[in-house]
Amino acid sequence: MMTVPLDYYIILSAFLFAIGAIGVVVSRNLIVMFMAVEIMLNAANLALIAFSRFLKLMDGHVFVFLVMTVAAAEAAVGLAIVIAVFRARESVNADSLNLMKW
Amino acid sequence: MEMLIFAVAAIVALASAVMVIAVKNPVGGVLFLIMSIAAQTVLYIMLSGIFVAAFMILVYAGAIMVLFLFVIMMLNLRHADLGPDSLRRVKPLAWVFGSVLLAELVWVSMAASMPASGIDETFGSVPAVSRLLYGKFVYPFELTSVLLLAAIIGAVVMARKGS
């Protein structure tokens, strides 16, 4: 039976989340920033599944399902915004969006 | 044995996630993200989340990542020149804050210990999760259709030419 303790999964999830957070801050390519957001969502999903298993409660699986649906919607709208930005600025550099920059 | 599988999957997931933000070519980034997702799917199966594991492969690796690839190839970003790096001076700061965030998360996670106990065979199976989706959580589940409709309309409006 389960030989891997819960905290291993949660710490792995923490590492993935930190990688995603650093990726969003460090990268300037809008698409790479989106992928880093996906990594963070995956990290949260992993923690949910792990807690779900150890609490013996399947509600976490439903929550992960909903998170994935939101991720799909977010990716569709986000990539459409990237396309619109590319049309307007000929670039996917986040720095090119400086109209509202103070 | 189980520990070994966990270690391999965890290392692959972490290394691929690092590569996603490290590689220059975004197509490579998408492929590394698919690899990371596949490794995480192994962990889902180890946690007996069969339904979410299937969903992860189908929706994440199958649909969302193809959408990313499609956009990257449509915009022809392979040779996209991002110009001089405006973040060069603040980048170390990002690593510092990222490390602090990681330390904090790990510190909190240390306290999360729960005894592993046996579960029945149907845990996380498609019928069991579906029963929850259409029973206890039927309203959130139905509301996702509204969300998806809004996303479809939003995507079409945003990506339309000459708007």
Q: What integer best gives the mean pLDDT of chain B?
A: 86
Q: How many Cβ pairs closer than 8 A exist between chain A and B? A: 242
Residue B20 and residue A39: Cβ atoms within 8 Å?
yes
Provide ipTM, 2 decimals: 0.90
Residue A23 and residue B20: Cβ atoms within 8 Å?
yes
Residue A7 and residue B101: Cβ atoms within 8 Å?
no
What is the number of other CB atoms lying within 10 angstroms of the CB of residue B133? 20
Check residue A56 and give left, alpha or beta (phi > 0: left; psi -120 to 50: alpha).
left
Domain spans in chain B, listed from the N-terminal domain onward? 1-80, 125-163
User: Per-residue confidence at B73, pLDDT binned at 50, 70, 90?
Assistant: confident
Contacts of B59 in chain A (CB under 8 A): 68, 72
What integer pLDDT is reported at residue B78 of this predicted model?
62
Is B1-80 in CATH node 1.10.1740.110?
Answer: no
Tens digit of each residue's pLDDT (9 = 90 or more) over A19-54? 999 999 888 888 889 999 999 999 999 999 999 988
Enter the tokens of residue B77: 């970003």
**A6-92 CATH:** 1.10.287.3510
Enter the tokens of residue B160: 């339309």
- The secondary structure of residue B25, as a DSSP letter, is S
Tens digit of each residue's pLDDT (9 = 90 or more) over B20-65? 988 888 889 999 999 999 999 999 999 888 999 999 999 888 889 9
The rounded distance, in Å, linking the Cα atoms of B55 and B62 is 9
The rounded distance, in Å, linking the Cα atoms of B135 and B7 is 36
pLDDT, average across residues B138-147 = 93
Domain spans in chain A, listed from the N-terminal domain onward? 6-92
What is the number of other CB atoms lying within 10 angstroms of the CB of residue B78? 12
Which residues is A29 bridged to in the sheet? A93
The rounded distance, in Å, linking the Cα atoms of B54 and B61 is 10
Phi/psi of residue A93, nearest 5 degrees: -75, 130
User: Per-residue confidence at B162, pLDDT binned at 50, 70, 90?
Assistant: low
What is the number of other CB atoms lying within 10 angstroms of the CB of residue A1? 7
Enter the tokens of residue B67: 């959408």
Which burial class, exposed, middle or buried, applies to B121 when counting CB atoms under 10 A from its CB (0-12, 13-18, 19+)? exposed
What integer pLDDT is reported at residue B163 of this predicted model?
53
CA distance A100 to chain B (A): 17
Burial call A30-41: b when 16+ CB within 10 Å, e when fewer: bbbbbbbbbbbb
Residues 6+ apart with CB under 8 A from B112: A6, A7, A10, A51
- Which of A22, A30, A48, A101 to probe the B interface (max B CBs under 10 A)? A22
The rounded distance, in Å, linking the Cα atoms of B14 and A48 is 18
- The three-state (H, E, C) secondary structure of B80-123, written as one string: CCCCCCCCCCCHHHHHHHHHHHHHHHHHHHHCCCCCCCCCCCCC
Residues 118-137 of B with CB under 8 A from A: 118-119, 123-124, 128-129, 132-133, 136-137
